[in-house]
Amino acid sequence: MRSIRVETSGATILLTEAPEPKIRDRQTGEIAKDAVSGEALMTIGVVYIEDGESSLNKVTVPEGGISEGLALGAPVSLPGLVARPWESVFNGQQRHGIAYRAAAVTPGAFPVAVGAAV
């Protein structure tokens, strides 16, 4: 399926879950790897806030893209964020959703409020 670039310049993104290895196979504990580079993949939890609405999302990031200095509850930046629709059948049940992936996760900044003194 096609990846869709996610524009984040107007959003506030807060880290809600620390990076942890993405598990490819829960039975064996195998860690997921990037298909091209072979680098281990990590997942983070974020809350994405834009236009007065928020959503909790998991984002996959290559291990080398995890920056130092990340703190839970702090704003982060997700350069190269893309969304990819997916669907699968498991035990006869059709499932679908959206997977998010970013090139990195770095410390961000809270946006300046509209009308705030600078």
In the structure encoding, which two tokens stand for residue 17, read together?
A: 């879950």
- pLDDT beyond 70 at 1: no
Reported as a pLDDT band with limits 50, 70 and 90, residue 110 is confident
pLDDT of 90:
84
Distance CA 41, CA 32 (A): 6
Q: Decide which of 116 and 80 is more confident.
A: 80
Distance set, CA 6 to CA 21, 40, 78 (Å): 23, 23, 10
- pLDDT beyond 60 at 12: yes
Distance CA 66, CA 34 (A): 14
**Residue 28, helix vs strand vs coil:** coil
% of the chain with per-residue pLDDT over 90: 77
pLDDT of 109:
83
In the structure encoding, which two tokens stand for residue 15, read together?
A: 């880290």
CA-based end-to-end distance of the chain: 44
- pLDDT beyond 90 at 38: yes
In the structure encoding, which two tokens stand for residue 110, read together?
A: 């809270």
**43-95: per-residue pLDDT in tens?**
999 999 999 999 999 999 999 999 999 999 999 999 999 999 999 998 899 99
Q: Decide which of 114 and 3 is more confident.
A: 3
